[in-house]
Amino acid sequence: MCAFMESEKKNGGIHSKNAIITNIQGFSIHDGPGIRTVVFFKGCPLSCRWCANPECLSETPRMGFIESLCADCGTCFKVCPNGAIRNTEGEHRIDYSRCESCGTCVENCFYGALVQYGKSMTLEEVWDAVRRDRMFYESSGGGVTVSGGEPLLWAGFVRKLFELCHHEKINTCVETCGLADPKTLLEVIPVTDYFLFDLKHMDPDAHRKYTGQSNDAILNNAALLLAQGSDVVFRQPLIPGVNDEVWNVEATARFLKGLGENALRLQLMPYHRLGESKSRALNRIHGMDEATAIEDEHLEAVRKAYIQLGIECTISM
């Protein structure tokens, strides 16, 4: 164990700080340069209708029910200590007014129909998980990415994790929706090599309609990152009928140009419907039922439009 870790343990800090993590995913190639390990934090200040990770929206653990895997064996009814599992036709299996997300039902479900989204992890546990992939970082120029949800809700934890990464010369990346207290950005900038920053819509009213919040603070934080000299790649989830219109493309390009030459990189992330099944598992309404996956031809047309407007635009799947 490194000297930095030992000093943290002596001070008690490494065991006193926890975060709620939904997943630690290794061998990712879409969340920053090289091969990366992505740590998904729970909690998000936005509620995007198209959210691909609805299990990360709340800051606390939450149980999900995957109906297609259920064998109706009845075991979950018997083991739930709070009587939160119900078998009423036409209703979700979990009564969230009673559920305390203790995980007892998951431990006793042999068919995988019940799942616990999120668990409390110490800094040491997360660090131990991500450092195992160090050989892949070194060979590919990769590293550790924090995502979610919104990892900046856990800025203190992220800073400590990234300090450990930098001590071991591991590259770091924050994937953010941009809606955060500027103080949290300033806290993590010194230990972050790379930011992936979402620009979902340039119109504040439309942004509020589809995400639940205006984009004013987000745009200000984008400017703050560039003013601090951070290495930022902007990202735009491309949603048919929401933000793929010509005027929004032009407005996005103008905004990026206004931030200077270091802001002219944009990745398009084509809309997909992979979040729907997790929304059903959580008994949550998926807000984009009318939307379809974007066609390749249209996706390429938007990419070329950005390039013609002076933006270095790529597509990230």
| pLDDT (0 to 100) of residue 7 | 37
Instruction: Tell me the DSSP string of 209-262.
Output: HHHSS-SHHHHHHHHHHHHTT--EEEEEEE-TTTT-SHHHHHHHHHHHHHT-GG
User: For residue 72, with 0-12 CB atoms within 10 Å meaning exposed, 13-18 middle and 19 or more buried, which class applies?
Assistant: exposed
Cα–Cα distance between 41 and 188 in angstroms, integer?
15
At residue 41, the pLDDT reads 97
**Domain 62-117 is found in CATH 1.10.645.10:** no
Q: Where are the extended beta strands (E) located within the chain?
A: 18-28, 36-41, 62-65, 114-117, 119-122, 143-147, 171-176, 194-198, 232-238, 265-270, 312-315
Q: Which option is the CATH number for 3-58+119-315: 3.30.360.10, 3.20.20.70, 3.30.70.20, 3.40.1280.10?
A: 3.20.20.70
Distance separating alpha carbons of residues 11 and 17, to the nearest angstrom: 12
Q: Beta-carbon neighbour count of residue 98 at 10 Å?
A: 13
Q: Which portions of the chain are predicted below pLDDT 50? A: 1-16
**Angstrom distance (rounded) from CA 2 to CA 287:** 46
pLDDT tens-digit series, residues 101-131: 999 999 999 999 999 999 999 999 999 999 9
36 and 28 Cβ atoms separated by less than 8 Å: yes
Q: Where are the domains of the chain?
A: 3-58+119-315, 62-117
What's the token pair of residue 233?
């790649």
Residue 148 · residue 25 · CB < 8 Å: no
Q: Is the separation of the CB atoms in 123 and 17 below 8 Å?
A: yes
Residue whose entry in the numeric block shows the structure tokens 């078998």: 87
**What percent of the chain is predicted at pLDDT more than 90?**
82
Q: What is the pLDDT of residue 92?
A: 85
Contact indicator for 64, 99 with CB cutoff of 8 Å: no
Q: Measured between alpha carbons, how far is residue 104 from residues 84, 99, 282 in Å?
A: 11, 11, 17
Cis bond before residue 143 (omega within 30° of 0) = no
> What is the pTM for the complete model shown?
0.90
